[in-house]
Structure 1
Amino acid sequence: MDSSTTYTIIFTIAAYLIGSISFAVVASRAFGLSDPRTYGSKNPGATNVLRSGSKKAAIATLLGDCAKGWLPVFLAVHYGDRFGIEDGGIALIAIAVFVGHLWPVFFRFVGGKGVATALGVLLGLNVWLGLATLVTWLVVAYAFRYSSLAALVAAIFAPFYYGLLFGANEILFAVIIMSALLLVRHGKNIGNLLAGKESRIGSKAAGAKQQPVKKK
């Protein structure tokens, strides 16, 4: 095994472990909120944390999940060549951090749907790619007030944006895999959207209560 392969494996494992940090759970505990896996959509993500009524916790979750997707990919893109990490390695690292969020080893492999982490990955690959996808999400979310619908549309457009900017390569394949996983993870949301039962952005969920502070 040559050194470039070794470094690619190390970076990929590290990316998965970073992705496995669930900021929805961490932020909820820090703000004294119920576990986001116990109310609303039961998804440990920023949108569900927002249903607790704590905007600060939701913002912390969003930024944390986005940053963890951005960091390993950004490092691989800008410094990976020093370790012999090429496009194929960058693609593996991008998928690894995203899969870490979906199936986190630190939280019994019960993770979120990956919207914020996917955005972080796209920003790490290229700022314009990430911004184009983010604008797509914002436009749909503003127009329809459904976070899931916005995520679905953004996931569909992301590979097209990448293809337009950079053409077909191994990293495009990674973006397609992420988009496909996002669509799969939103299967229940698709059913709710079709049935008119999907919760809108900002709606508060039953059971999203602040945990009582224990007296010492």
Structure 2
Amino acid sequence: MYTVLFVVAAYLIGSISFAVVCSRLFGLADPRTYGSKNPGATNVLRSGNKKAAIATLIGDCFKGWFAVWLALQLGPRFGVDDTGIALVAIAVFLGHLWPVFFRFAGGKGVATALGVLLGLNVWLGLATLATWLIIAYAFRYSSLAALVSSVFAPFFYVLLFGVDPLLLAVVAMSLLLVYRHAKNIGNLINGKESRLGSKK
């Protein structure tokens, strides 16, 4: 019963779209109406407002971290085991992808996934972030960096902790990230993908 409550709470936390919220606060157009139409930090950056993009990135990352941190801190008191924590991690990520507050039209989940990984273990999150930064710097494609990072994240987890129930969350997020980037994969293959920092 308590596991269900934690999972539902995580989904609702994940459903807060900081791309939309921050764009409104900064007086910008809805990120779902320009560029890739994806409510995420990369698309908000296309507005030309770096502060709004940074705020979006921090917010989306924070909610992933916060949901997992909350479950890790309070869950054991209510009998929430590692499987329950894994479900919480997946739930907050699903909330970002399909947010109930925004008609289930969410982002691709890169920042939120990073927050989840940092919540599970800071070294896991930092290793994945380092992978993203290296690929993004080398090729200037946010989507390519996200795809490579999503593939490496489960391997980082296994190297650090072996195989356990929490690996389920990492693998699930990785598969969903690849799924959400299907269009980007096609654009990368066809040479039509937008580079980091390109305007709307």
TM-score range, shorter chain: over 0.9
Q: Which region of structure 1 is more displaced relative to structure 2, 43-52 or 166-175?
A: 166-175
Which amino acid is 1:71 matched to? F
Query: Which structure 1 residue ranges, 4+ long, deviate > 2 Å from structure 2?
Result: none
Aligned to 2:169: 174
Aligned to 1:158: 153
> Is 2:43 the partner of 1:45?
no
> C-alpha distance in 2, partners of 1:85/1:126?
18
SS at match of 1:135: helix
Q: CA deviation at 1:76?
A: 1.5
Q: CA deviation at 1:26?
A: 0.2
Q: Residue deviations 1:74-104, cap 9 Å, x none?
A: 1212332111111100000000000000000
Aligned to 1:123: 118
SS at match of 1:109: coil
Q: CA deviation at 1:14?
A: 0.3
> C-alpha distance in 1, partners of 2:158/2:71?
20
**Identity over aligned residues, as a percent?**
76
Correspondent of 2:91 among 88, 93, 96: 96
> C-alpha distance in 2, partners of 1:81/1:168?
20
Runs of 5+ unmatched residues, structure 1? 1-5, 206-216
1:10-25 counterparts in 2 under 5 A?
A: 10-25=5-20
Which amino acid is 2:29 matched to? S
> C-alpha distance in 1, partners of 2:175/2:116?
15
> C-alpha distance in 2, partners of 1:78/1:158?
23
Which amino acid is 1:179 matched to? S
> C-alpha distance in 1, partners of 2:33/2:19?
12
Correspondent of 1:105 among 100, 107, 120: 100
Which amino acid is 2:175 matched to? A
Paired residues in the alignment total 200
Q: Residue deviations 1:117-174, cap 9 Å, x none?
A: 0000000000000000000000000000000000000000000001111111111011
Runs of 5+ unmatched residues, structure 2? none
Aligned to 2:4: 9
Q: Residue deviations 1:26-54, cap 9 Å, x none?
A: 00000010100000000000000000000
> C-alpha distance in 2, partners of 1:72/1:118?
11
Which amino acid is 1:200 matched to? R
Report the RMSD for the aligned CA atoms in angstroms: 0.6
> C-alpha distance in 1, partners of 2:152/2:72?
22
> C-alpha distance in 2, partners of 1:189/1:109?
20
- What TM-score results when the alignment is normalised by the length of structure 1? 0.92
